[in-house]
Chains A and B, each alone.
Chain A
């Protein structure tokens, strides 16, 4: 079974600064996808960024980027120029390429942004 671990229950950052959220995963498969989701107090699950395992290039979406280290099974999220609206719970998630789209989630990291 695949597992996803987020070792940082809580993180904080000053507005306009950069923060990195950690995620590690365990799988013996080579075809998989990784995701970061944001969950604000509204409970809505919002896709932040997605990475295909076969792509060596790290995904980026505006102020959000990932550091995908396939050999180390690490998938960290970097948020640059943090904004107050970035405050939320962040989940790392994993799915196998052949798993009918079933997602496995980490425990989450609560991000606080200080003005």
Chain B
């Protein structure tokens, strides 16, 4: 099993550009999450999904959008990138028994 796969691993964006961070899991988990980790800080929840077609905001959703058209995929969309969105982004999924699996992260720099 590949687990949770995030692409790309690194990206540099210019202010005002847009991009989509991809996240795919092959474990048939219903729950999926997007977190951001600022330097020297803990992870903060951006958006989450409890199943295909169902998403909701987390703690820091401004500037982001998500969709969940399938169980496997949970892309995160950044519109009009800003320097404050420079961070490492983690996608995670969870099964019903509290087992979380994290992706390896995407390091995004907005210049």
Contact = CB atoms under 8 A, between A and B. Distances in A.
Contacts of A47: 100
Contact of B43 (A33, A44, A105): A105
Interface in A51-83: none
Contacts of A33: 98
Contacts of B13: none
A4 B43 CA distance: 11
Interface string A71-112: 000000000000000000001010000001111111110000
A108 B43 CA distance: 9
Nearest to A110: B40
A69 B100 CA distance: 24
Interface stretch (B44-52, B61-69, B74-82): B44-52
B43 A91 contact: yes
A44 B33 contact: no
A50 B98 contact: yes
B88 to A, nearest CB: 7
Give the dominant DSSP class at A's interface.
loop
B42 A42 contact: no
Nearest to B29: A101
Contacts of A9: 40
B98 A102 contact: no
Given A45-B90, A101-B94, A107 B105 contact: no
B41 A108 contact: yes
B92 to A, nearest CB: 8
A13 to B, nearest CB: 20
Which of A33, A42, A45, A93: most chain B CB closer than 10 A?
A45
A103 B31 contact: no
Contact of A42 (B35, B58, B104): B104
Interface of A: 4, 6, 9, 33, 42-45, 47, 50, 91, 93, 100-108
11 contacts: A43-B88, A43-B105, A45-B100, A91-B43, A100-B31, A100-B50, A101-B94, A102-B48, A102-B58, A103-B43, A108-B41
